[in-house]
């Protein structure tokens, strides 16, 4: 639209210049009278001729009417369209977002776009998974939209808001609201609407961790405690901390740590790590195996047998991890 307006304004300027020059040259009008005559003609004001026109002048005026009025009408239409779109942009944007949210399935809901919620949303954006952000603050919602994220301004603790976010079809929810009470209420509401929902909550106070877990949170993080712990680790074990930073935040390397589940239809089922040779064939390191019963085995031996429902915690370059995932999908029956 801005480019179209610029073109039309340039065209109108050319018509005014041509009309003024034509009346000066053909009818010997003074420049101001010539400009006024051109302007009244192309705007269809119709005040009449300032000075009587000759035959040549009237022919020139016909040319001016034919082209000038057409361009002027296009300019008026473009300006009107720009104003209408500006006035109704909010309505159209809300309808578009609602359609996008209504189509979500197996998505994640990030409630709260503060420092914690923003970090969670950026990680999901990097992973390329579908997610939607919900925050009461309009400025935070606008910030999320400018970052290319789907976001709505609403109260996440209300059941109506969660239903609008399609919580019944969601895969997981991040509770990163400002207070522990709000996060606890949010977890209770979300679990009631979708008992199968996987939830992770932020806890501001240490004593709130157990309460949030009793409310139904699958995972609870205390950011202040974790930050203090990592600060101490950076002094006591700096190289270990650097290693963790690299493979949890992708600092400087195209590598990450991922989890891959062994399905019942996978060729990996019933085989040992030595047999599948993921390290030699794909360049992927198996850090741990989480068994289906919840036990975690770190640095598993080569003869460790994989069973259906096990999760491999693997580390490697992003492309190799994608190849492993593709291999697992392709191996399904």
86 and 52 together in one domain: yes
* pLDDT, mean over the chain: 82
Q: Is residue 316 part of a domain?
A: yes
Q: Is residue 235 part of a domain?
A: no
214 and 162 together in one domain: yes
* pLDDT, tens only, 238-264: 877 676 666 665 544 456 777 888 777
40 and 130 together in one domain: no
**pLDDT score of 22:** 84
Q: Return the higher-pLDDT residue of 218 and 83.
A: 218
> Exposure string (b/e) for 18-52, b if CB count within 10 Å is 16 or more?
bbbebbbebbebeeebbbbbbbebbeeeeeeebee
Beta-carbon count within 10 A of 315 CB: 16
209 and 115 together in one domain: yes
CA neighbours closer than 13 Å in the CB half-sphere of residue 66: 6
79 and 149 together in one domain: no
CATH code for position 178 = 3.40.50.720
Beta-carbon count within 10 A of 217 CB: 27
**pLDDT score of 15:** 83
Which of 189, 209, 226 finishes a domain?
Answer: 226
Could you give the percent of the chain with pLDDT greater than 90?
Answer: 22
**pLDDT score of 246:** 63
CATH code for position 72 = 1.10.287.70
**pLDDT score of 191:** 93
Q: Which residues, including other chains, have CB under 8 Å from residue 290's CB and lie 6 or more apart?
A: 259, 296, 297, 310, 311, 313
109 and 212 together in one domain: yes
Task: Taking residues 53-57, report their average pLDDT.
Answer: 81
The answer to whether 141 touches 163, Cβ cutoff 8 Å, is no
202 and 297 together in one domain: no
DSSP state of 165: T
| pLDDT tier, 224 (very low <50, low <70, confident <90, very high otherwise) | confident
**pLDDT score of 332:** 43
* pLDDT, tens only, 131-180: 999 999 999 998 998 898 999 999 999 999 999 999 999 999 999 998 99
Q: How far apart are CA 203 and CA 220, in angstroms?
A: 7
Displacement of CA 38 from its chain's centroid (Å): 50
**pLDDT score of 252:** 45
Residue 11 has φ and ψ, to the nearest 5°, of -65, -40
Q: Is residue 249 part of a domain?
A: no
Which of these, 170, 226, 222, lies nearest to 194 by C-alpha position? 170
136 and 221 together in one domain: yes
Displacement of CA 61 from its chain's centroid (Å): 55
Separation in Å, CA 154 to CA 40, 60, 164, 209, 296: 52, 62, 10, 25, 39
Q: How far apart are CA 21 and CA 37, in angstroms?
A: 11
Count of structural domains, the chain = 3
Structure tokens at 281: 């064939």
Q: Is residue 305 part of a domain?
A: yes
Could you give the percent of the chain with pLDDT greater than 70?
Answer: 89
Residue 110's domain spans which residues?
104-226
Which pTM value belongs to this model? 0.60
Q: How far apart are CA 222 and CA 207, in angstroms?
A: 10
Question: Is the pLDDT confidence value at 313 over 80?
Answer: yes
* pLDDT, tens only, 289-305: 888 887 888 888 888 88
Q: Is residue 236 part of a domain?
A: no
170 and 262 together in one domain: no
Q: Which 3 state secondary structure label does DSSP give 268? A: coil
Q: Is residue 240 part of a domain?
A: no
Q: Is residue 48 part of a domain?
A: yes
Q: How far apart are CA 107 and CA 132, in angstroms?
A: 8
* pLDDT, tens only, 167-178: 999 999 999 998
């Amino acid at each position: 639209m801005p480019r179209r307006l610029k073109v039309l304004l340039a065209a109108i300027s050319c018509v005014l210049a041509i009309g003024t020059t034509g009346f000066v040259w053909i009818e010997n009008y003074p420049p101001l009278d010539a400009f006024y005559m051109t302007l009244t003609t192309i705007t269809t004001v119709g005040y009449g001729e300032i000075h009587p026109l000759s035959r040549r002048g009237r022919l020139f005026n016909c040319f001016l009417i034919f082209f000038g009025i057409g361009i002027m009408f296009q300019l008026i239409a473009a300006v009107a369209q720009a104003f209408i779109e500006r006035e109704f942009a909010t309505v159209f944007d809300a309808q578009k977002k609602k359609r996008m949210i209504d189509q979500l399935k197996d998505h994640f809901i990030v409630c709260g776009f503060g420092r914690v919620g923003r970090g969670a949303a950026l990680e999901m954006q990097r992973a390329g998974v579908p997610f939607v952000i919900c925050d009461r603050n309009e400025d935070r919602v606008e910030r999320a939209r400018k970052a290319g994220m789907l976001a709505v301004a609403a109260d996440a603790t209300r059941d109506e808001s969660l239903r609008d976010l399609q919580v019944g079809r969601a895969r997981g929810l991040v509770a990163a609201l400002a207070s522990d009470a709000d996060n606890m209420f949010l977890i209770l509401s979300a679990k009631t609407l979708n008992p199968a929902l996987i939830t992770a909550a932020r806890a501001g106070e240490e004593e709130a961790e157990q309460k949030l877990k009793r409310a139904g949170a699958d995972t609870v993080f205390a950011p202040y405690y974790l930050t203090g712990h990592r600060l101490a680790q950076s002094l006591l074990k700096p190289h270990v901390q650097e290693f963790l930073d690299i493979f949890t935040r992708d600092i400087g390397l195209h590598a990450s740590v991922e989890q891959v589940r062994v399905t019942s239809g996978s060729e990996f089922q019933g085989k040992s790590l030595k047999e599948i040779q993921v390290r030699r064939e794909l360049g992927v390191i198996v850090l741990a195996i989480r068994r289906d019963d919840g036990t975690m085995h770190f640095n598993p031996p080569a003869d460790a047998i994989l069973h259906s429902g096990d999760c491999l915690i693997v580390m490697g370059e992003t492309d190799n991890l994608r190849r492993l995932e593709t291999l697992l999908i392709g191996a399904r029956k």
